[in-house]
Amino acid sequence: MNGLVKKVVPIVIRRRDSPEILAFRHPRGDSQLVKGTLEEGEEPECAALRELAEESGIRDATVERALGRLVFPEIAQDWHFFLCRVACPLAEEWSFFTQDDGGHLFEFFWQVLEVEPDSSWHEDFCRALSFVRRQLESAGTPN
C-alpha cells in the first residue's frame, strides 16, 4: 500500500426515522463527505477531528470509534473512517466558509443513509456511503 495518500473521513450520524449522515455540497456542485489528508506525525483520530472542524465548523466532537478503511487505488488514496459524536444538536442545514484550497463556502445537509445518493454525488463518495452503511450494519450500530 506504499504510495497511497492517507485520508481521514469523520462520520457524523444523526438518528431520525432512518440514520442520516452529515454531508455537504461543494461550490463546484458535487455532494461530498468531510475528508482530508492525514498530516505527517498526526494521529488519525486527531486528524479526523481537525478536518471536521476545518471543513464544517464543528469543534465539539469526539471520536467514538474507527469504522475501517477503504482503498481507492485508481486515485492512490487510503481513506480511514471514524465515527464521531457531536456534543450539541446540529442544524438541518448550514453554510461554512472553509480556508481549504483558497477558501470555499460549503453547504451542509443530512443525507439519509439508506437512500441511494443522487447524481450530484461523485462515484468515490457513493462508494464511501455504501462502505459506511455496511460498517454500521455489521457492527450492529443502532439505527
Lowest mean pLDDT among 24-28, 31-35, 42-46: 24-28
Per-residue pLDDT tens digits for 100-135 = 778 899 999 999 999 999 999 999 999 999 999 999
Per-residue pLDDT tens digits for 80-97 = 999 999 999 999 999 999
Who's near 51: CB < 8 A, 6+ residues apart? 8, 10, 34, 35, 36
Who's near 68: CB < 8 A, 6+ residues apart? 80, 81, 131, 135
User: What grid cell was written down for 33?
Assistant: 463527505
pTM for the whole structure: 0.93
Q: Would you give the distance in Å from CA 60 to the centre of its chain? A: 16
- Which fold is adopted by the domain 5-138? Nucleoside Triphosphate Pyrophosphohydrolase (3.90.79)
Q: Where are the domains of the chain?
A: 5-138
